[in-house]
Amino acid sequence: MGVNLRDIAEQQDVSFESLAGKTVAIDALNSIFQFLSTIRDRFTGEPLKDSKGGVTSHLSGLFYRTSRLVEAGMTPVFIFDGKAPDFKATVQAERRKARSEAKAKWEQAVRDGDTAKVRLYSQQASELDEAMLGEAKRLLDAMGIQWIQAPTEGEAEAAYLSRSGAAYACGSQDWDSLLFGARRLVRNLAITGKRKLPGKESYVIVSPQMVELDRMLGALGISHGQLIIIGILSGTDFNPGGVRGFGPKKALDLVREHRTLDAVLKHVSWEFPTPAQTIFDFFSSPPVADVELRPGKPDPDAIRHILIDGHDFSEERIKGALEKLESSGSRKQSGLGRFF
C-alpha cells in the first residue's frame, strides 16, 4: 500500500554482501504480511498451517529470510506499528471491507479451479492478527533479533533511525519511508530470489534495490517537503488513490511549477476527508521514540520450542537456519569482545 514513487525514483541494484556490517531498520508489518500472503498453496491459496490449524506462513518466512540476512552480515531490527493516527481509521475500514470481498472471490476461484485467481485473491484476503504479531515478536526474541514498538507508523520510526545514523537504511517494499525522511530505502529484502510473474508461468530474478534520498532529491531538483507533496498528490495510506488524474510524474511537474503545498492545492481538487496539510505535517514530523539498538544472541532451545513444539516444524528443516544464527551470534560476540 502507500505511495508509489517508482516512476520518478532512481533505484540501484545492491547485493546482500554490500549490506554486510550494516543495520537495517525493517518495516515489520510490511515484511511479515508479505510472508503471510505469498507463502501459500498455489492451488487452494491456503497458507501453511500446523497440525492444530494454526497459520505458520509468517513464522516460516520470518525465520528463514531473517536468518539469510544475518548470514549475509546484516543486523536487522524490526519496527512494529503502534497506534495509527485517527485520520487513518477510514482507510483501515476500507481495507477490511476489501479483504472480505477478496475472500469471497478467493472461495469462488477455488470452486472454479482458477489457480491464477486463487493466488491473486488469497493474497488480497490475507489478514495479520494480533496473535500472529505476538508469535512473530516471540520468535524474533528467541532469534536474538531486536524489535521495536513504534509510537505510531513503523516506517516513521525506521526512517528516524536512518536519519539519526542508528540504522544504515530502512527495509520495506513501500516507498513511504522516503516521505518520512529515511536516508536510504532498501526494497526486495524479503522477496529476493525467483519470483513468479502474475498470471504467467514464468519467473524473474528479484534482487535488493536501494534508493538514496539525497541523491533522488538532487536528481529531481526538489526538496524533501516537495517530495511529500508529490506523494500526497499521487496517493498515500492517508488518501489512497491520490488526487484524481495525478501520478508521480504529473505531480512532479506541478510541484516544480508551484513549489509549495498551498500553491499546489489551488490547482487541484481535494476530495479527501483529511486535510492535505494534516497529512503533510504527519509525514514531516511524525511521533517517534529514541531507542537504543543492542546486539542480541540467539537461543536455539527457545527457537525449537516455538517452531518444533509449538508449530510442528521439523528439526531437519530448521537446522541450517539455526546454524546460521548461532554462527553469526558467535561472530558478533567475538567482535564485541575485541571492541571492549
Indicate the domain borders of the chain: 12-220
* Residue 199 pLDDT class (50, 70, 90 cuts): low
Is 21 strand, coil or helix?
A: coil
Q: Give the pLDDT mean for 261-278.
A: 96
Q: Give the pLDDT mean for 265-273.
A: 96
Distance CA 323, CA 320 (A): 5
Distance CA 304, CA 315 (A): 8
The CA-atom distances, in angstroms, between 219 and each of 3, 54, 57, 204, 212 are 19, 48, 40, 29, 11
Indicate the average pLDDT of the chain: 90
Q: All 3 cell numbers of residue 338?
A: 575485541
Architecture of the structural domain at 12-220: 3-Layer(aba) Sandwich (3.40)
Looking at residue 87, what DSSP letter applies? Answer: G
Q: Which of 24-38, 90-104, 193-207 is the most confident on average?
A: 24-38
Residue 1: pLDDT above 60?
no
What pLDDT is stored for residue 202 in this prediction? 59
Among 7, 339, 30, 329, smallest CA distance to 186 is for 30
Q: Which residue has the cell 491459496?
A: 45
Q: Give the pLDDT mean for 31-47.
A: 91
Distance CA 289, CA 25 (A): 14
| Tens-digit pLDDT profile for residues 118-162 | 989 898 898 889 999 999 999 999 999 999 999 999 999 999 999
Residue 339: pLDDT above 50?
no
Q: Give the pLDDT mean for 237-253.
A: 95
Give the type of residue at 91.
V
- How many other β-carbons are positioned within 10 Å of the β-carbon of residue 286? 20
Q: Give the pLDDT mean for 210-227.
A: 97
Q: Are 46 and 97 in contact, with CB atoms under 8 Å apart?
A: no
Q: Are 158 and 170 in contact, with CB atoms under 8 Å apart?
A: yes
Distance CA 318, CA 312 (A): 11
Q: Is 144 left (phi over 0), alpha (psi -120 to 50) or beta?
A: left
- How many other β-carbons are positioned within 10 Å of the β-carbon of residue 205? 8
Task: Please list, in sequence order, all residues whose beta carbon lies within 8 angstroms of the beta carbon of residue 201, skipping any fewer than 6 positions away.
Answer: none
| Tens-digit pLDDT profile for residues 72-84 | 999 999 999 999 9
Q: Is 296 left (phi over 0), alpha (psi -120 to 50) or beta?
A: beta
Give the type of residue at 319.
K
Distance CA 131, CA 129 (A): 6
* Residue 334 pLDDT class (50, 70, 90 cuts): very low
Q: Which letter, b or e, does each residue of 126-157 get, where b requires 16 or more Cβ atoms within 10 Å of its Cβ?
A: bebeeebbebbbbbbbbbbbbbbebebbbbbb
Residue 328: pLDDT above 50?
yes
Distance in Å from the first CA to the final CA of the chain: 44
What pLDDT is stored for residue 192 in this prediction? 62
Q: Which letter, b or e, does each residue of 175-197 get, where b requires 16 or more Cβ atoms within 10 Å of its Cβ?
A: bbbbbbbbbbbbbbbbbbeeeee
The CA-atom distances, in angstroms, between 151 and each of 81, 154, 290 are 7, 8, 10
Task: State percent of the chain over pLDDT 90.
Answer: 76
